[in-house]
Every structure is written in C-alpha cells, then in structure tokens.
Amino acid sequence: MSLLTDLAFEARNTARSVADYVTGTGLRLGVTGLSRAGKTVFITALVQALTTPGARLPVLRAAAEGRITRGVLQPQPDDAVPRFAVEDHLTALTLERRWPESTRRISEIRITIDYERRGGWRPGPASLTLDIVDYPGEWLLDLPLLGKSYAQWSAETLEASAAAARAPLAAAWRGHTALLGADPPASEDEARRCADLFTAYLRASRADLYALSTLPPGRFLMPGDLEGTPMLTFAPLPVAGPARPGSLAAMMERRYESYKALVVRPFFRDHFARLDRQIVLVDALSALNSGPAAVRDLQNAMTDVLQAYRAGRSSLLSTLFRPRIDRILFAATKADHLHHTSHDRLESILRLLVARAIAKAEDVGAKIDVIALAAVRATREAAVRDGRDALDAIVGTPLPGEVIDGQTFDGLAEAAIFPGDLPGDPKAALRGDGLALAEGENDYRFVRFRPPVPEAGPDGAAVLPHIRLDRALQFLLGDKLS
C-alpha cells in the first residue's frame, strides 16, 4: 500500500470515526469463525432476537429492564457488499427446520435498535444503528500475510506441513515439490499442478476427521469468482533467497504478492479496519473430537487471529485517528451438544486455547470475554432412568440418516443421548483426554440434530431457544444501550 493510499485510508477512517464519536449512534460488529463454527446461525438468531418482541434475553439488561422498544431491519448500507439473507435463513430454521447454508463470502445487515437511556447527560429515547459484518475466519488468518515475504510464508507452511498430524495429508503435495529439483523454470502447467496439490492438502486438513485449522491463503478453499486466476495459482516452494528471474519461484512469488495486494489488503482496508467489536465463533468440540493435534492447531490459529486485530481500548484520540476493536468475544459454539454441567468446562477449555491470544490483546487494553453458547438450541435436557439411577441426557431430533446404536433416524423421531463429561482440568483437553465416557459407550458429541420447533412469543411470533445468546449480546452491545 503506497504512502498516499495509506493517508487516504486513514483520512476516510478518521472522518467515519469523528461522525460516530459525535453522534454516538453507530456500531460495527464483526462476526467470524473458522469453518462450521456456526456464523450464519448466530447472525440469524441475533437478528431474530433483536427484532422480535418477546424474545427471551434476560441477561441483556436493556431488554430485561424493558428499555428496548423495537428493533427494525434497515436497507443495506453498503452498495458493494451483499446483504445477509436473514429472511431465507429464518425460513429454513423456523418453517423447514433445517440448518441454513453456510455463507462463503462477506455479507452485511443493518438493524436500528430503539431504546430508552437510563440516565447520563442525555436520558430518554435513543437509537443505536448496528451493522453486522459476516466474513469467513479463513480470511482473518490471511491478514498476517501482509507482514510476510513469500520466502517466510513458504518456510512456515512447509514446516507446519511436516508435523505428524499434517504430514500424511500433505504427502502428495510435498512429494511433488521435492521432485521439482532446485530452481525449476517458470511453467504455467507446473504452477497449476502445485496449486492443485496444495489446495487438496488444505481441504483435507479441514475435513471432519482431522478438524485442523487451515493455513492461509484462505481464498484457496473459498475462491468465489477468483477461481482459476493467477492470484490463486501458487504454492509454497523451498526458497533460500531472492528468486531467480524466470524461475518457478519468481512466478510464485509474484502471484503471492498479487494475492496480498489485490485480495488481502482490500479486505483489511474496506471491511476489517472499520470494525468496532468482534465475536469469534469457535467449534472447540470438533477439535476435541479429533484429538490433541487438532486442539493444538486450533490454539495456534486463535493466536494468529488476535495478531490481525487493531485491538485496544478506544481513547478519544485513538477513536478519532485510529479506530480500534475494543471488545472481542470468543464463543465456543454447539453448547447444546453437552449437558449444562459441562458448559463451564467448555468455557475453561476455550479460555486455555485462547490464553496466549488474550494476553496480547489485553496488553493493549482490549476487553476480552469467553463464553459457551448455542445461538439456536437444538436439544433440551432430561433425566433418563437407568435402573435406580437417573442419568443426565440431552434430547433432540437427529437429522435424517443419523445413526445411533444401529438405529437410523428419519428426521421425525426424537432421541435421548448421554453426551459424557468434559474433563475438569482444561489442560487434559490439550493432552487429548476429551470427553469422559463409560467403557464401551459411543461418543455422541456429534450427532447432528434438526433445529428445534420454535417457541411462541407473547404476540405469537416464533422465538428460537438459545443458550447464552443474551450474555453474548450484553458483552457486545450492552454498554451502548445503557
């Protein structure tokens, strides 16, 4: 980014920040998470809760005190960004009882929240404009590339791919790279072959069986309209110094730099740098299920996530001249797959996973919290008798085709399952101890359930049950609604 471009970028951000500071009425909330963390469901549930009278949000103080008068969807504010299709997703959840399709690109939606201020120098009616920005977490992991050369990125990626958990997945790509020899000449066919094998390795790493947090570049797995372009046709090579002109390494390096300049920088400039608050959704249960290598990989990914933030508490000067994200919430999703007695343990495990990241953010003043939640609760809890004993169970409707104890479910019948207990010591999760299950008992953590039958609110509107969505909203928005 040139000096003039930097100055223009900062000038635009300064103008936006001055306007937001003077009016105090705007907030941009970023929602992200790695694959399958539940971003689409979270945003849909958040919008539904804020725009539906009678939504149950007891921990959100403004709602509990009856000071939120209404929440209204507004027209899409940014003509260049797709609107988050909340109506389609709500139809899928409430009428069809199916999980909506995941979004694979950036999207945005705006809500105006009318509320009553409790006091301060301007008590009375007020409004908060909330812009919710949805983007894939893989894009967030791209931001550290801005400070890395092609040689640095190649060395780090090759080293990571040699780890025990990744080496079998990377064998075809690494084997082909080894056969290239020293300093091969530039070749479009060779570049495509290397990029295809590298992408296959990234895709395999993300599969359910391994649940590894993918390495950048994030667009390799979510190419969109960039698919097949030179910007996505490169791969790491073992390079010790400056690439020789006309070599394959020089070709790869040029495309890597184009990726940074034309893909990563515009995302940072146009979207990420404008955020005020952020929630990072984390599918910690999938990592726990896949073993200690996946857990450690997720821990490293969360540390990389925090390196991307312009984090820090906003003072008057920093608010005006360098906007910063001052609140970040890490949320372990799918809490409804566990009994509530394990929720505190899930939070403790996530806190340990993000401890290094939290320390870096708190050093510069950002406020951080960790939570276990289910934005849409697909199960309920029950005590099931086993002889004289009462066992803690969760009850839900498995998706069609799910198999439990040899029974294949049709999407209509309910099932009670015993999810086991997370270890009391969160360090045990990093060692791979995972859930404590009885001998011979199946691991039911990842039975996939249908969305629940919506509850009826006071005015008859459909209300989705949740676990701690209100606590998340209090942390992210509560101070703005006081």
Domain range list for the chain: 3-135+271-377+465-481, 145-266, 380-451
Mean pLDDT in residue range 40-59? 93
**Measured between alpha carbons, how far is 469 from 466 in angstroms, rounded to an integer?**
6
Q: What is the mean pLDDT of the chain?
A: 84
Whether the Cβ atoms of residue 108 and residue 132 lie closer than 8 Å to each other: yes
Q: Could you please report the per-residue DSSP string of 461-480? A: -EE---BSHHHHHHHHHGGG
* CA-wise closest residue to 331 among 302, 360, 359, 309: 302
Q: What was the pLDDT predicted at 362? A: 62
Tokens for 229, please give them: 């372009």
* CA-wise closest residue to 97 among 467, 463, 411, 444: 411
Whether the Cβ atoms of residue 287 and residue 301 lie closer than 8 Å to each other: no
**What are the Cα distances from residue 334, in Å, to 221, 393, 401, 424?**
24, 15, 20, 19
Mean pLDDT in residue range 235-258? 92
> Residue written as tokens 């190649």?
154
**Measured between alpha carbons, how far is 372 from 368 in angstroms, rounded to an integer?**
14
Which residues make beta-bridge pairs with 110? 74, 131
Lowest-confidence region among 48-52, 353-357, 456-460: 456-460
Q: How far is CA 182 from the centre of its chain?
A: 39
CA quadruple 446, 447, 450, 454: dihedral sign: negative
Is the pLDDT reported for residue 11 higher than 80? no
Is the pLDDT reported for residue 2 higher than 60? no
**Measured between alpha carbons, how far is 156 from 347 in angstroms, rounded to an integer?**
30
**Measured between alpha carbons, how far is 161 from 236 in angstroms, rounded to an integer?**
11
Is the pLDDT reported for residue 297 higher than 70? yes
Q: Please give the share of the chain, as a percent, with pLDDT higher than 70.
A: 85
**Measured between alpha carbons, how far is 428 from 115 in angstroms, rounded to an integer?**
45
Q: Is 193 helix (H, G, I), strand (E, B) or coil?
A: helix
Is the pLDDT reported for residue 112 higher than 70? yes
Q: Is 249 helix (H, G, I), strand (E, B) or coil?
A: helix
Strand stretches in 268-359, DSSP E? 277-282, 327-332
Strand 380-386, strand 462-463: pairing: unpaired
Q: What was the pLDDT predicted at 12? A: 52
pTM of the model: 0.87
Strand 124-134, strand 26-33: pairing: parallel
Topology classification of domain 3-135+271-377+465-481: Rossmann fold (3.40.50)
Q: What was the pLDDT predicted at 445? A: 52
CA dihedral defined by 258, 214, 29, 79, rounded to 10 degrees?
40
Whether the Cβ atoms of residue 277 and residue 249 lie closer than 8 Å to each other: no
Lowest-confidence region among 101-105, 205-209, 257-261, 331-335: 205-209
**Measured between alpha carbons, how far is 185 from 419 in angstroms, rounded to an integer?**
55
**Measured between alpha carbons, how far is 323 from 360 in angstroms, rounded to an integer?**
18
Residue 47: CB atoms within 10 Å: 21
Mean pLDDT in residue range 204-227? 80
* N- to C-terminal Cα separation, the chain: 40
* CA-wise closest residue to 252 among 175, 308, 198: 198
Tokens for 136, please give them: 């894939």
Mean pLDDT in residue range 242-255? 93
Burial of 239 (0-12, 13-18, 19+ CB in 10 A): buried
Q: Rounded to 5 degrees, what angle do the CA atoms 93, 469, 291 make?
A: 85
More confident residue, 462 or 442: 462
Taking each helix axis as running N to C, give the angle between helix 39-51 and helix 469-477, from 0 to 180 degrees, rounded to the nearest 10: 80
Residue 136: CB atoms within 10 Å: 23
